[in-house]
Amino acid sequence: MNNLDQLFIVSLSGLAIVIIIGLFLPRQATWLAKLSPLLYVGQLLLLIKMASLVYIDAGSASEIQSSFHLHLLGEPLQWRFDALSWFFAIITVVAALFAALFMSGVWGEDYRKKTSANAYTMLHLGLLLNVNSMLLLLASGDFISLFIGWEFVSWASFFMMVLNPQKVARQAAMKYLMYAMTGAMALLAAMAYIYDISGSLQYDIVRLSMSHLSSEQIIPLVILFVVGFAIKMGVIPFHLWQAVAYAETPAPGAIFMGAISARMGLYAIIVVLFQLISMDNFAYIHIPYTFWNVQSVLAWIGALTTIIPTYIALKQNDARHLLAWHGVGQGGYMLLGLVIADNVGSAGGLLHVFNHATYQAALFMTVAAVMYRTGTSNFDKLGGLVSQMPLTFMVMVFSIIGLAGLPPMNGFVSKWMVYRSLLLDGQPLLFVAAVIGTLGTILSVYKLVHNTFLGQLRVEHQEIKEAPLTMLIPMLLLALIIFVTGVMPGLILDWIVPVQAAIGLPPLDYHLGGIILPTGGLDMIWLTLILFYGFAVGAVIFYLIGGRAKHVHQYDNYAGGHFLTAKVRYHYSHNFYAGLMHLIGGWYRGSFVRLEKAIVSLVSFLSQLAENFYRANQPTMLVVAVVVMAIWGIAVGRFG
C-alpha cells in the first residue's frame, strides 16, 4: 500500500467519521467541529510524503500508481499522481484545511445556532466530499476515471451550493447543475470521439494516436473538450453561473470553492490539451476561413475572461459577489499564461493558481468576518470599519494587493510573468487586454476596501469588535503566505518547474527571489527591499521630521462647509464609480445574459412544442413517426 492509497483511505475515512458522527452521535458533533482540521492535516501529511514528485532527486519516480484497479468495458481504470496532480492536490488540501480551521471556531458555533446541528454537519460533509472528489479527479489516470472524478466534483460542488436554503442560492445551484450537465455531455461526446479514433481510453494510447490527427479531427475534439472543462472554470461565454453560486454558499464553502474548485477545469484542460494533445500543434492548426489558429483563439478566450467578469465585478454591490466575480476573471490569466505555452507564461499561469487560492481564501475570510460582526456584506450598509477591525483590514489589504497584482505580494509575480511572456511572445494586443483586466481589478478591489473599511463608520457599528481569534488566525496565516510567497516566489516555483516538465513545457530558470531571463528577470527580494526602503524614507519624514499629525473625529471633516452629524451619512459608497460608469456604462449590455435567456426559452419552447404535438395528436404523430422511420429504413437499405 503506497502513499496514494493511504491518501484515499484517510480521505474516505474522514467522510465515514463525519457521516457516523452526524447520524448516530449528534452530541459529539461539537468535538467533530473542533477536530475537523485534523482530517485535512492527515491528508496534507500524506501529500508531503509524496513531495518527491516535485522535489525530484535521482531515483524518484515521476508517477505514483495507486494499487487498486478496476475494469470497465474491458478498459482498466487507474488512479495515479504526478507532479501536476500533486500541485493541484496540495492547494486543494491546504485550502480545505484553512476553510476547516475557519469553520471549526466561532463561525461554526454561530452557524450552528442560526441553522441547526444537522446543517453544520452537512457543511463539514460538503467540504470533505469536495476534497475527496477533487483528489479522485486529480488522481485520474485515464478518461473513464477522469469522467468519474469529474462527475463527483460537479455533484459535490452542487451539494455545497444547496446548503444555503435561500432561493437565490438554490437557483444558482440549479443553474450550475444545468451547466455542469452540459459540460459532462460535451466531455462524454469527446470521449466517444476519442474512443472512435484511437480505440482506447488509456492516456498512453490516446497520446500516440493524437500525434497523427488531421486538423479536421482535432478542431471538433478541442471544442468538445474545452466546452466541457471551460464550463467548470467559468471561462467566457460560460461565466454566468459561477459567481452567484460561489458567493451564496456558506462562508467556508465560499472560501474553499473560491480558492480552488473552479481550477479543476484548468487541471483537466492541462491534462487534455498539454499532456495528450501537445500545445505545440495548436499554433499550426488554422481555423478554416479565418486567420486565427487554435492557440490564438484560446488565448483570446483567456483575455476576454480576464476583462469581462472583472468589469462585471466592478458593478457588484455586495462584497461576496464582487470577490466571486474576480474568481472568474482571474481564471483568465491562468488560461492565458498557459496557452502561450512558453516557459515564463505557463509558469505564471500555474503560479497564479496557487496565488489566487491564497488571496481569494483570505478575502472571503475577511468578508465572512465582517459579516459575522455586522451581519451584512452589502456595501451600502458598511464603511469605516478600520478603526474597529484593524487586523481584518490588514489582511484584506495584503490580499487585495495580491489580487490587484501589485508588489510585494504574490499576485504580482504571476501576473508579471504572464505579461512578460505576452511581450516576449510578441502579443501586444493580448498584453493590453491583460492590462485592461488588471485595471478593472485595481478599481474594484479599491471599491471593496473603501466601502467596507474606509470612510465613515456607521452609528450602529461604533461598538463592534475585532474578528474573533479563531477567524483571525487562519486569516493572518494566509496573509503571511501571501507575503512570503510574494517575496520568495522560488518556494512555489520549486513545485511548478516539475509540473512544466510533466506537461511537456520548457522549464523555467528561477531562483529563490524570482525568475532568470536573458532579457532581464525579476528579483522580488531586491524589489521588496527597495519598496520598504521607500516606505522607511516616508516614515522618517512623516513620523520623525514631521510628527505633528493630529487625529480628528470623523465628523470634524470638510464637506463643503457642511456640519456633519451622525444623522447625515457622508460615506460615498452607493454607485461608487459613477464617473467611470458615465464613460463605460453603455458597454454593459448584458449580452451574455440575454443569450442565456434566449437559449433557455428556445429549449423550453421546443420541448413544449414536442410535448403538445405528442399529447394533442398522439395517433397521428405515431403514424408520422412510423412512416418516417420506414422511409429512412428503406432509404438506408436501398442506397446505404
- Nearest distance, CB of residue 366 and another protein, angstroms: 15
104 or 164: CB nearest another protein? 104
Single out the residue of 406, 407, 434, 416 nearest to residue 517, CA to CA: 416
Residue 422 · residue 435 · CB < 8 Å: no
d(CA 422, CA 431): 6
d(CA 84, CA 88): 6
Q: Which stretch binds another protein (CB under 8 A): 307-315, 362-370, 559-567, 589-597?
A: 559-567
Q: 23 Cβ partners below 8 Å, 6+ apart?
A: none
Reduced to 3 states, what is the DSSP secondary structure of residue 546?
helix
d(CA 93, CA 47): 9
134 or 396: CB nearest another protein? 396
- Nearest distance, CB of residue 571 and another protein, angstroms: 14
Q: 156 Cβ partners below 8 Å, 6+ apart?
A: 126, 129, 130, 132, 133, 134
- Nearest distance, CB of residue 385 and another protein, angstroms: 11
DSSP assignment, residue 142? B
- Nearest distance, CB of residue 455 and another protein, angstroms: 12
**Footprint (CB under 8 A) of another protein, residues 569-608:** none
- Nearest distance, CB of residue 553 and another protein, angstroms: 4
For another protein, the binding residue among 24, 289, 291, 563 (CB under 8 A) is 563
For another protein, the binding residue among 553, 567, 582, 638 (CB under 8 A) is 553
Single out the residue of 360, 617, 579 nearest to residue 475, CA to CA: 360
Q: Is 266 among the residues that bind another protein (CB under 8 A)?
A: no
Single out the residue of 260, 271, 287 nearest to residue 225, CA to CA: 271
- Nearest distance, CB of residue 414 and another protein, angstroms: 32
138 or 457: CB nearest another protein? 457
424 or 564: CB nearest another protein? 564
Could you give the angle at the alpha carbon of 296 between the alpha carbons of 295 and 299, nearest 5°? 90
Q: Is 165 among the residues that bind another protein (CB under 8 A)?
A: no
**Footprint (CB under 8 A) of another protein, residues 369-408:** 386-388, 390-391
Counting beta carbons within 10 angstroms of the beta carbon of residue 57, is it exposed (0 to 12), middle (13 to 18) or buried (19 or more)? exposed
Counting beta carbons within 10 angstroms of the beta carbon of residue 102, is it exposed (0 to 12), middle (13 to 18) or buried (19 or more)? buried
d(CA 214, CA 218): 6
For another protein, the binding residue among 24, 289, 558, 639 (CB under 8 A) is 558
CA atoms within 13 A on the CB side of 516: 6
Longest distance between any two alpha carbons in the chain, whole Å: 99
For another protein, the binding residue among 562, 574, 594, 597 (CB under 8 A) is 562
- Nearest distance, CB of residue 598 and another protein, angstroms: 49
213 or 564: CB nearest another protein? 564
- Nearest distance, CB of residue 552 and another protein, angstroms: 6
Q: Is 110 among the residues that bind another protein (CB under 8 A)?
A: no
For another protein, the binding residue among 1, 58, 545, 552 (CB under 8 A) is 552
Q: Is 442 among the residues that bind another protein (CB under 8 A)?
A: no
390 or 504: CB nearest another protein? 390
Residue 510 · residue 516 · CB < 8 Å: yes
Reduced to 3 states, what is the DSSP secondary structure of residue 140?
strand
d(CA 183, CA 157): 14
Annotate 385-441 with DSSP letters as a single string: GGGT-HHHHHHHHHHHHHHHT-TTSHHHHHHHHHHHHHHHTT-HHHHHHHHHHHHHH
d(CA 150, CA 136): 9
187 or 385: CB nearest another protein? 385
465 or 615: CB nearest another protein? 465
398 or 510: CB nearest another protein? 398
214 or 565: CB nearest another protein? 565
d(CA 283, CA 218): 12
Q: Is 465 among the residues that bind another protein (CB under 8 A)?
A: yes
Instruction: Give the binding-site size for another protein (rule: CB under 8 A).
Output: 22
545 or 616: CB nearest another protein? 545
- Nearest distance, CB of residue 513 and another protein, angstroms: 33
DSSP assignment, residue 276? I
108 or 141: CB nearest another protein? 108
For another protein, the binding residue among 318, 342, 466, 494 (CB under 8 A) is 466
90 or 457: CB nearest another protein? 457
Q: Which stretch binds another protein (CB under 8 A): 24-32, 371-379, 533-541, 555-563?
A: 555-563
561 or 640: CB nearest another protein? 561
Residue 321 · residue 243 · CB < 8 Å: yes
For another protein, the binding residue among 546, 561, 619, 637 (CB under 8 A) is 561
- Nearest distance, CB of residue 106 and another protein, angstroms: 10
- Nearest distance, CB of residue 555 and another protein, angstroms: 6
d(CA 170, CA 165): 7
For another protein, the binding residue among 468, 484, 494, 570 (CB under 8 A) is 468
d(CA 180, CA 22): 29
- Nearest distance, CB of residue 484 and another protein, angstroms: 23
For another protein, the binding residue among 9, 72, 432, 469 (CB under 8 A) is 469
Identify the bridge partners of residue 202 per DSSP, sorted by sequence position.
142
- Nearest distance, CB of residue 90 and another protein, angstroms: 32
d(CA 409, CA 398): 7
Identify the bridge partners of residue 140 per DSSP, sorted by sequence position.
79
Conformation bin of residue 455: beta by default, left when phi > 0, alpha when psi is -120 to 50: left
233 or 457: CB nearest another protein? 457
- Nearest distance, CB of residue 387 and another protein, angstroms: 4
Chain-centre distance for alpha carbon 573:
27
Query: Which residue is associated with the grid cell 478496476?
Result: 70
Q: Which residues bind another protein (CB under 8 A)?
A: 386-388, 390-391, 457, 465-466, 468-469, 551-556, 558, 560-564
